Structures are given as structure tokens and as C-alpha cells.
Amino acid sequence: MASILFLFISFIFFISSLTAPTNPSSLYSSSHFSHAQKKTSHRMIKELNLHPNLEVNILKSNTASSDEDLEVSESELVEKRLSFPVLGDSGATIADLAHHAGYFRLQHTIDARMFYFFFESRKAKSDPVVIWLTGGPGCGSELALFYENGPFKLTNNLSLIWNDYGWDKVSNIIFVDQPTGTGFSYTSSDQDIRHDEHGVSNDLYNFLQAFFKAHPDYINNDFYITGESYAGHYIPAFAARVNQGNKNKEGIRINLKGLAIGNGLTNPGIQYQAYTDYALANNVISRSDYNQINQKLPACEQAIKQCGTTGTDICQLAYNFCQQIFEDIISLIDNINYYDIRKKCEGSLCYDFSNVEYLLSKSSVKTALGVPSNIDYVSCSDLVYRSMLNDWMRNLEVGIPALLEDKIQLLVYAGEYDLICNWLGNLRWVHAMSWSGQKEFVSASNVSFVVDGKEAGILWNHGPLTFVKVLNAGHMVPMDQPKASLKMLELWTTGKLVEPKKGAVAPL
């Protein structure tokens, strides 16, 4: 391994000396790795106005494991029925609308526990079951729950108000804090911290088995995996794991119907190439900047190839080199918000999600949720972020074609103004993906995605594959375009988010 790494570093030095004006040795020292990684993750957390007290929830003494609420076997959940004071009208047609929070003791770990929320549909228990995965890697699902597509929004005075466009209006939805150490999920051993999609997807699959065992009424419901950002890695791996479990008859059969990736990072080899093209097309950088930054692309592409699909120590090298392309762009754009290039960041603040930390740090709230008093809410975990660096540059698209051939639906959507996981890079990897319907998808005409008589997006579709460029949205589509995202979910899960036939009208 050492000799391979030396040869590869030598190759990078050679490429860099031909293409980059900087001194390559300064880019690849071990101290630079640590500083750059910490700087990037710290900056991204601070720009959301999040200030977690801990890097990760690891309780060495683990006094919480003796808490009566958490005495669970390896295959069971501990769950609490919740009763939130929520302002406004839910619009629910269900008489007994159930909300839950709980912990699952993860199998094949030393002492890891996964925290989750489950909200029954406001419309019908027969609606699909949807699981939402927040990215990061290492950010808690509560960011989406309270600011994007959860049942309620969080006001400035920490009150809850019903979200008119929560995804629970058309689905039974689960939000999970994962990987271990994220949000309210915790362990007593750092050996339980995950480093790759094998560990992540197995944990999620085991949780799902326990969830359906505890909620057998939902076993036959359609099941969909959704999420955004770094979940572009989690979702394909998790979907493949569920599909494999079904084929191997490992446990409860999960009625997997589809996976939806929102502004995701799925195929870095293609998506990092799109950064400069997207930035130039949107007048974020100049042509000379474009030409200069593009000199770093060949070495980045080679590094990603060396990383491959399985993940090795070389993958951290690929991360550091390729991330420099993104860093070079944002160094030129002053205070433009790279999650939404229409907006400016004020100082170091691009969004203010701090209220979620204030709410979830309250002892009364933790008690209501069944969270032990000595567990902190870790909004975004630096340690989980860094632990996944060998996974970052892996290509997770490789597992998707087999799912498509099994008629499992794939929806990829992206807000048009997001830079960090931009729509252009996402459309390119979807086009480049080799499967039986690739030619037809690439040649398919795009059509308008229409909501309430207005164009909300541009849609491409063939067979089980659909791509939507969501208009007037940034990285967090359900936050920026809540009505359109809800309608998109509803049409997709009911098989109606497809290219209209000749003479038909676009989805309403």
C-alpha cells in the first residue's frame, strides 16, 4: 500500500507541476490534510449558524445505557408516542394522528443507538412509507424536519407551526439521525463510527427490519428512500442493500418501489468536472478563472479513478485535491451563498438554523423525545464528516443500474441555483449511467413540470428514471419550493411524474 501511495503521489506531483501554479508539496503534507478537512467541515457548519457543543456523541462512561427507556435487545426499538403543541390546522383527515420518536440498538456494534422520528400520514395510513436521509456527512435529520419537509416548521420563538407542505401530507415519513454520532444518535465506543457505505447501509437495513417488526401495519405499503446532498451516497447503497435483502429473503420483505436523490453527490468523477462549467455559465467566475481552475481537473480525475468504487487510503488524497477545485471557485465569489447563488452570505452566515439547536438542547424537549439527559444534540458532526472521507470520492452510481433493471424507480432532482451539488453535474452523471434504457433517456425530450398552472421545473423521463431540474430553488429544494417538492413526491410515488404522452397535459 505504501509503495502504491508513493507512486500515486509522485504522479500527482508530476501532473501538478505541469498544470498548477501552486507548490504541490504544500498540498499533500499530512498536516495539510487535517487542517483542510477541519477547515472545510467547520466552515460549512458555521455558515448554517450551527454550533454543536460536541464533535460527536460518544459517551465513554455510557451511563445512559442504564436509562430505563433504553433497555432494548439488539433487534428491538424503544419508541415514545409524542404529543407536540403545534400552532395552526394540520388539515389531517386521520382521527388519531400518531407521531413517534425512538431509539434502535444497532446490531453488530459495540453500543450504538440510532435515533429516529416517525410521523404517520395526515391523509391515509395506506400512503407510502418514506425514509429521509440528511447528508453532511454527519448532519442530523432535524434540519430537514424543521426547515424543509417535516410536519411542522420552527418559529423564531421556538414554537411549532404546521407545515402546509410537509411530506407527511402524502406519506408516512421517517427521519433518522445517521451515521452513528449524528444528531441524537450515540455510542459508548468510537469503534462504532462508520467510515463507508457498507456500515451505513447495513445499519439502516437493520433499523428498517426492526421498524417494520414494530409497525407491521405498514409492511405492505410502498417504500421509498429519499434524501439530499451527501445522501447521494447513502441512498443508492441503502437501496441496493434493501434489494439484496429482499432477494435473499433475509427477513421482512420491504416493498421497495423507488429512491429519490435531491441535489446529491453520487458520481464525483463526473460532478467535480461540472463545477467550473456551472460556475461559468452562471457568471460566477470569469473565462480566465475557468481556464486556470480547469488545469487541475486531469489530476483530480486520475485521483478519483485511483480511489475507485470501494474506497482506499488514496481516496483522502483524491478528496483533498479535487476539493481544491471547489475551494478555488468559492475563493473568487466573495460572499455568494454556494448553496444558492442568488443569495449573499452575511459575514460567515449563509443560513440561520440555530433555533433547532436551541430547541433540542432543552431538557424538557429531550425528556419528551425519550432522549437521555446527558446526550447532546449534535447538529452536524465534524468527526463523522472526517470519518467518511475515504467514502467521499467513491462512485455510488455503479449500483443503480441493477435497481433500474429490477423496475425500481429513480428520481434525481436538483435546484437550479445550487453550486455545491449543481443540477448540471447531476444531469451529466444520470445521462452517462449505463443501463438498458440509457439511449432512450438521453434522447428523451424535456418537458415542463407544472404546479398550479405554473412551470416549477424541467423534467426528463424514460421508464423508471426521472430527472427534474427544479426552478427557483437552491440546494434545499423542499425549503425553497415546498409546494413543488410536495407535488413532485406525490406524483412520483403514484406513478404520475412521467413525460406526458403526445396530446396530454403536463402534471398539475
Residues 54-95 have pLDDT tens digits of 666 777 654 444 444 444 445 578 899 988 888 888 888 887
pLDDT tens-place string over residues 237-286: 999 999 999 999 999 999 999 999 999 999 999 999 999 999 999 999 99
pLDDT average, residue stretch 442-452: 95
The DSSP call for residue 145 is I
Q: What integer pLDDT is reported at residue 3 of this predicted model?
A: 33
CB count in 10 Å sphere of residue 97? 14
CA contacts within 13 A on the Cβ side of 208:
29
Residue 172 has pLDDT above 90, yes or no: yes
Produce one character per residue of 384-395: b if its CB has 16 or more CB atoms within 10 Å, e if not.
Answer: bbbbbbbbbbbb
User: Catalytic residue at 475?
Assistant: yes
Concerning whether 42 is annotated as a catalytic residue, the answer is: no
CB 247 within 8 A of CB 240: no
Residue 329 is classified by DSSP as H
pLDDT at 316: 85
Taking residues 365-370, report their average pLDDT: 92
Average pLDDT over every residue of 319-324: 90
Residue range 293-304: average pLDDT?
A: 92
Which one-letter amino acid corresponds to residue 369?
Answer: L
Q: What are phi and psi of 318, to 5 degrees?
A: -60, -40
More confident residue, 124 or 84: 124
Mean per-residue pLDDT for 212-216?
Answer: 95
Mean pLDDT of the 359-368 span: 92
**Tens digits of per-residue pLDDT, 186-198?**
998 888 889 889 9
Average pLDDT on 496-505 reads 58
Report pLDDT for 60: 67
More confident residue, 34 or 367: 367
Give residue 229's pLDDT. Answer: 95
Q: What's the CATH fold of domain 54-265+350-392+408-418+474-499?
A: Rossmann fold (3.40.50)
Gyration radius of the chain's alpha carbons: 22
Q: Is the pLDDT of residue 502 over 60?
A: no
pLDDT in tens, 103-117: 999 988 889 999 999
Q: Which three cell numbers stand for residue 203?
A: 445499519
Question: Which pLDDT score, from 0 to 100, does residue 309 have?
Answer: 64
Q: What per-residue confidence (pLDDT) applies to 41?
A: 61
Cβ distance 507 to 487 under 8 Å?
Answer: yes
What is the percentage of the chain residues whose pLDDT exceeds 70? 83
Q: Looking at 93-102, 323-332, 405-414, which range is the least confident one? A: 93-102
368-390 average pLDDT score:
90
304-315 pLDDT, tens digit each: 988 876 656 788
- Picking from 64-73, 129-138, 316-325, 346-355, which range would have the lowest pLDDT averaged per residue? 64-73
- The torsion of the CA quartet 150, 154, 158, 160, rounded to 10 degrees, works out to -60
According to the model, what pLDDT value does residue 499 have? 54
**Residue 225 near residue 208, CB atoms below 8 Å:** no
Q: Are 142 and 175 in contact (CB under 8 A)?
A: yes
List, as one string, the DSSP characters of 439-497: HHHHHPPPEEEEETTEEEEEEEEETTEEEEEETT--S-HHHHSHHHHHHHHHHHHTT--
Cβ(189)–Cβ(65) below 8 Å: no
Q: What's residue 52's pLDDT?
A: 65
For 95, counting Cβ atoms within 10 Å of its Cβ (0-12 exposed, 13-18 middle, 19+ buried), the class is exposed
pLDDT at residue 202 in the model: 95
pLDDT at residue 425 in the model:
97
Q: Is 229 a catalytic residue?
A: yes
Given 141, 229, 381, 387, the catalytic residue: 229
Taking the whole predicted model, whether its pTM rises above 0.85 is answered as yes
pLDDT at 21 over 50: no
pLDDT (tens digit per residue) in 429-438? 999 999 999 9
Distance CA 347, CA 332 (A): 15
Q: For residue 61, which amino acid is it?
A: S
Q: What is the mean pLDDT of the chain?
A: 85
**Mean pLDDT confidence for 400-421:** 97
Confidence of residue 488 (pLDDT cuts 50, 70, 90): very high
Q: What is the pLDDT of residues 128-138, one digit of tens each?
A: 999 999 998 99
Marked catalytic residue, from 16, 203, 475, 485: 475
Greater pLDDT, 469 or 379: 469
Pick from 391, 397, 385: which is nearest to 315 by CA? 391
